[in-house]
Amino acid sequence: MRQQWVHGDKARIHDRAVIIFCGRPERERAAPRAVLTPCGLTRPPGGKGVRCGPMSNKLLNSAAKSAVVTGAGSGIGRAVALALTDAGWSVALAGRRPEPLAETAALAGEHARVITVPADVSRPDDVTALFSSVRECFGRLDLLFNNAGAFGPRSVPVEDLSVADWHSVVDVNVTGAFLCAQAAYRLMKDQDPQGGRIINNGSVSAHAPRPHSVAYTTTKHAMTGLTKSLSLDGRPYRIACGQIDIGNAATDMTEQMRTGILQANGELAVEPVMAAADVARTVLHMAELPLEANVQFATVLATAMPYVGRG
């Protein structure tokens, strides 16, 4: 039996619950009493987050390791979430929209241990609710895959990029990654046995930019600093942190690669892509290492992409 509970921020879905049971979504209005899902998860009246009943505790708090995957509704996040559930992990699927999360959960199969948690990682309250749900449903956290990200407007020169567009990228890619890492760090530090792993989704843009990508490239360089700081500060608590830098995985974000994208010399060129599942296998390998070992940085890219020759 798949066990899932969806909650979200009050601005979007405070007034309803989305319950998925064996792949069949059912919407119901939240009543002024606790809402009980078919698998025993309950929400307090008027509250956000999850309170797990005895049934869900018994089934979810198993020997399986638990993970949070942000941006799990599509692309790399979905591929990593499916790789983890296939390997027996319990996974909290986080993202801004409940419908794509429900699709990921359905793809995971009937026996996957999954909760779906709509959350905007740039909002501190959403992040708090996300990790509270994880603590109550899984009992602990072994992995955060810090994956949610935004590219921002494409083909906009630096002199024309608006401050609002700059903030929209920085708020998700940097602030959101920090908020999730901070919440994960707190859980991992306090749980018994202590420790866990954080894997940040960087990018080959953390090494070499594309034209007209100042906001995205800046945030991915910042992600490298976040990775290094978390790695150092986590040592006393058995918290390992690594980063995977990805180039041209086949996702919605890279769809333009198939038709032609601006190169450093001003030309447009079609670039090769690789399957997101190829990235997911690398993340799974990093995730399943003992905490005494860590992949600090890994680069996974389409073999023939022009990354090495950028500029």
Question: Count of domains in the chain?
Answer: 1
CATH code: domain of residue 84: 3.40.50.720
- pLDDT at position 38 over 60: no
In a domain, 3, yes or no: no
Are the CB atoms for 251 and 307 separated by under 8 Å?
Answer: no
In a domain, 1, yes or no: no
pTM of the predicted protein model: 0.80
Cis previous bond, 193, omega within 30 = yes
Give CA–CA dist 122/175, Å, rounded: 6
Give CA–CA dist 33/157, Å, rounded: 52
Q: Is 185 a catalytic residue?
A: no
Give pLDDT, residue 120: 98
β-bridge pairing 41-43 and 51-52: antiparallel
pLDDT digits (tens, 9 = 90+) for 94-135: 999 999 999 999 999 999 999 999 999 999 999 999 999 999
Give CA–CA dist 160/214, Å, rounded: 11
In a domain, 4, yes or no: no
How far out from the chain centre does Cα 23 lie?
A: 21
Task: Name residue 27's amino acid.
Answer: R
In a domain, 2, yes or no: no
In a domain, 57, yes or no: yes
Give CA–CA dist 43/5, Å, rounded: 9
pLDDT digits (tens, 9 = 90+) for 52-103: 433 233 344 446 899 999 999 999 999 999 999 999 999 999 999 999 999 9
Give CA–CA dist 178/106, Å, rounded: 29
Question: What mean pLDDT value characterizes the chain?
Answer: 82
Give pLDDT, residue 44: 34
**Residues of the domain holding 257:** 10-309
In a domain, 84, yes or no: yes
